[in-house]
Amino acid sequence: MSRSSDFEICVVGLGAMGMGAATSCLRAGLKTSGIDLDAGRRDVLAAQGATTAASIGQLSGDFDAFLVLVVNGAQARQVILQPGGLAGRVKPGGAIMVSCTQSAEDARALGRDLEAKGILMLDAPVSGGSAKAAQGAMTVMASGSDAAFDALAPVLEAVAAKTYRIGPDIGQGATVKVIHQLLAGVHIAVGAEAMALASRAGIPLDMMYDVVTNAAGNSWMFENRMKHVVDGDYTPTSAVDIFVKDLGLVTETGRALGFPLPLASTAFAMFQQASNMGHGAEDDSAVIKTFSGITLPEGQS
């Protein structure tokens, strides 16, 4: 399969990760289209030379690959399998890379349905945030057939610094991402708890942040998200409600396997509480607002 400008890729979902992935595909010389309901996002990508549309029906021709970066498995299933959806627009030998966070069972069900249509699927969740996506340096945790990996090689080369081949079975990639999100969500929640305790103790939060980020207790999520707390800026890069969804998947996975997840369950409850308090659309660091009796830096939304 060609890996030059005649390779046609369509990125579905131009949010923080999808926009960066589409930009990376353009930079790699792939013929890139993008689909999103938001006109502003479409305009940003179109200004870089991509073809954009609000739906697949507004684009002409078929594609070598689709990269699906929507919110969840239900959305992925809809855009792929609905009448007039992506499944009918894949070139022979092409493939669909499904990169949303979803349950392993949802991934397996989608894989079975696509296999019945003779379409290759890569179960390929991603991580790295908007900055890594824009650099073409995401981490991809993928499972699927060798044929699917081969068909999507130009896309993986364009968007990923590291691609992990988890195994041949659809659902394995989804499971690894769910476990990853357990860590990410717990790190944000415990970081918020630590900063809330510092506030209650009268420790300046910028001082506490500086100490932790230069000491053994640091993590990538603490360093990234607790800076938002220090700045009092809860403009979402990843919203509270995203972790309500993702930690919900974590706890469901634990139940399905009969495996206790005490820390993940506590973090899930914290994010649910933050959402219930009206902070669902704010940055996920706003989980700190579940703590009463503390004073946070000015400027928070």
Say which of 31, 132, 177, 289 is annotated catalytic: 177
Phi then psi for residue 298, to 5 deg, are -65, 155
The Cα 255–Cα 235 span in angstroms is 33
Residue type, 31: K
The amino acid present at 47, given as its one-letter code, is: A
Both tokens assigned to 284: 């996920």
Q: Is 177 a catalytic residue?
A: yes
Q: Are strands 138-143 and 126-127 parallel, antiparallel or unpaired?
A: antiparallel
Question: Are the CB atoms for 213 and 222 separated by under 8 Å?
Answer: yes
Give the catalytic positions in this structure.
Answer: 177
